[in-house]
Structure 1
């Protein structure tokens, strides 16, 4: 169990003079064994920050710990249909991600799938099942930190809740450190201990989820809350 920290992280695409700053001097702490929900609109820099944590977006400046090359951080991506190699069975994809011998059936059962699905190809699985396999694949790497990047946004509403329940149960059972990225405040409230609000590449608010979403201090957080659909009466 280990915390994830971003210290003055900047990610820039293009040249210094003509490039775009996607992440601007961000400092963020994900405490060990807790879930930090990172929320913001599309283009706010959330996914770029996540990709930087696993070495997929180069830093212009700053520091991330654990460093991406240490392989202590695993990421689950948004699109369950492109996350798995269609030429490999489910079991092969999970085993490939392990740093040592992997109990594939045990990992599948841990994410709520029968162990005998290990021989299936990805095309036989639904989106929700694929995302569970992606979770199992991330766990096969024996990570200390998991980053989940909009992992339910591509799924049907009817199965989003089931996947979120798996995520929450896994985190609690394994005491995982997790950065959970979403544009959906209801989802963030459900799974997170702490929430960080990101706007234009910067963190504008950070604190316990009930405190931030119950009494937000920043105008942008209030705007996000106001945009949440209200149930019809």
Structure 2
């Protein structure tokens, strides 16, 4: 194989438009790529193998660097007055900045988290089949059985006195995220990493608030520890 053939094959396989882009992906300088291209004699198999090994390692590193892309972090929740299909929204998708954020969340899949006012995670989840936007809106309006607060249940959420002056009971009840969430974060993640990263995070922070589905098939992504 000639040097020019090797360069062109790699550019095609790595989807590079220029030699400089190829150099960046394989961890070499543009000058070194030019030297390889200019070689007139056929390259030895050992040379080609070494070059491909470097290209593979650099390409893998580049892929992992770009596999996790933060969309938004600790964005303050402000329950919007508008409703879509009768659901509360964690932000106004038609407001200043909200339209751009909604657009950014509608395409990717990945991981997201909701926090309380103390910046503690109260729900952590993944969006695989649905977009981050759709999944987060659904969870935001869902009663979370393991997320409970003490409250007094008034009719339609409004105060109404009883004839006998009896106080209504204070009781621990499951609540929707929309009533307690104060911030949220979202990350656009390559599909092959979503479930494994979710499972890893839940193992690192194994409390009953984050997610009750801690260990299932996704944990097969990890080898059982020796100790």
From the CA coordinates, give the structure whose radius of gyration is larger: 2
TM above 0.5, one fold?
no
TM-score by length of 2: 0.26
- RCO comparison, higher one (Cα < 8 Å, 6+): 1
Higher relative strand content = 1
TM-score by length of 1: 0.26
